Structure 1
Amino acid sequence: MTTTLFDTAPDFDQPVAVLKHCHDRIRKQLKTMDMLASPAVLAATPDEVRQAAAAVLRYFEKAAPQHHEDEEHDLLPMLADTARGEDAALLARLTPEVLDEHHQMEQLWQRLQPQLAAIAAGQSSTLDGTDAAAFGELYLRHMDKEESHIAPMAKRLFSPSQMQRLGNAMRSRRGIALPEES
């Protein structure tokens, strides 16, 4: 049995698995944010607090927006082109909700970002627990919706070429070279 020492991400040849991996990373960042907004933060050193805030900032300023773009610009439109019948009806109901939740997350992030930046810079040690909780709860409900409905639909409906197209779009968005044809 081989044990890995770090969490490896799936390859973009499995784009739905990459999206799920992103959700797992979001959950870790939300836990860190919860700790920064809780009395538990008092047990950490100032350096640990700054590093934790900086890690949350890095993730939600770069990776999370890319993840939302993956969904908004590629995954959901590809599903809309593919889904039929009950799948199409479900997608028509869920897509506006998903897009609205992305917008709500962005609004909450605009309140959290300066607080986390101040903590990362050592200028503050306070993160608004109400904002952090609202952000976390919204994200958790959102990810559950995607993992329960959107991702399984994509796995079931997408052909191998559609999966490849989705994975390549995700690679491109991150500046990762496309695999060479063999």
Structure 2
Amino acid sequence: MTASLFDTAPDFDQPIAVLRHCHDRIRKQLRTLQGLAGPEGQAASIQERAQAASAVLRYFEKAAPNHHADEEDDLLPMLRATARGDDAALLERLAPNILDEHRKMEPLWAALEAPLRRIAAGETAQLDAAAVAEFSRLYLSHMEIEEGNIAPMAKRLFSDEQMTRLGNAMRRRRGIDGDAA
């Protein structure tokens, strides 16, 4: 058996696994962002800093908004339609906070975006370490709640048809063909 050299993403036939994979990628980009703001980022070459900043920008400008839309437009509404009893009560408590945290991430990202663009262009710019720390803290606690509550609930409650519907919506959002029947 040979090991893959590539970090392969799960298929959209497993939409909850795709969401978890997105969280793993967010964690990777947060580590890169923290590195850029720290001493190792200052010691890196201009080219290394530019590549790292470009990777962070690519992820948080495209993939992260798709991920948030997956949750806001599909996952949470489908859970609201399905959950009953204790699950519905938990969802009623958590969903507003999840949506509010998505809104709180936007201005934090906006504060980081301009210096990241300058770094990506090879210019000298500093990231605000406090802004990076707050952005990272918010994202990490947010993902912990989703992974500890929302994802297990969806895996337990969704039928195969609901999982297919969720996966297909995620595909369409990304412009990927291959909707299952």
Task: Report if TM-score (shorter chain) is over 0.5.
Answer: yes
Q: Which residue of 2 aligns with 1:42?
A: 42
Q: How does 1:12-91 map to 2 (within 5 A)?
A: 12-91=12-91
CA distance in 2, matches of 1:171, 1:117: 29
SS at match of 1:95: helix
Return the letter of the residue paired with 1:72.
Answer: E
Measured against aligned partners, the alpha-carbon deviations of 1:81-135 in whole angstroms (never above 9, x if no partner) come to 0000000000000000000000011110011111111111122231110000000
Q: Percent identity of the aligned residues?
A: 65
Count of residue correspondences? 181
- State whether residues 37 and 126 of structure 1, in contact with CA within 8 Å, keep that contact through their aligned partners in structure 2: yes
Measured against aligned partners, the alpha-carbon deviations of 1:53-97 in whole angstroms (never above 9, x if no partner) come to 010000000000000000000000000000000000000000000
Residue 42 of structure 1 deviates from its aligned partner by: 2.7
- State whether residues 13 and 167 of structure 1, in contact with CA within 8 Å, keep that contact through their aligned partners in structure 2: yes
TM norm structure 1: 0.97
- State whether residues 164 and 180 of structure 2, in contact with CA within 8 Å, keep that contact through their aligned partners in structure 1: no
Q: Which residue of 1 aligns with 2:4?
A: 4
Return the letter of the residue paired with 2:127.
Answer: L
Return the letter of the residue paired with 1:65.
Answer: P
Return the letter of the residue paired with 2:4.
Answer: T
- State whether residues 172 and 178 of structure 1, in contact with CA within 8 Å, keep that contact through their aligned partners in structure 2: no
Return the letter of the residue paired with 1:144.
Answer: E
TM norm structure 2: 0.98
1:134 aligns with 2:147: no
Q: How does 1:171-182 map to 2 (within 5 A)?
A: 171-179=171-179, 181=181
Q: Which residue of 1 aligns with 2:102?
A: 102
- State whether residues 171 and 179 of structure 2, in contact with CA within 8 Å, keep that contact through their aligned partners in structure 1: no
Q: Which runs of 5+ in 2 are unaligned?
A: none
Q: Which residue of 2 aligns with 1:160?
A: 160
- State whether residues 168 and 180 of structure 2, in contact with CA within 8 Å, keep that contact through their aligned partners in structure 1: no
CA distance in 1, matches of 2:133, 2:70: 25
Residue 180 of structure 1 deviates from its aligned partner by: 5.7
Quick one: structure 1 residues 94 and 167, their matched pair in 2 at CA, closer, same or farther if it must change by over 3 Å? same
SS at match of 1:18: helix
Q: Please identify runs of 4+ aligned residues in structure 1 that moved more than 4 A.
A: none
CA distance in 2, matches of 1:23, 1:74: 17
Q: Which runs of 5+ in 1 are unaligned?
A: none
Quick one: structure 1 residues 155 and 116, their matched pair in 2 at CA, closer, same or farther if it must change by over 3 Å? same
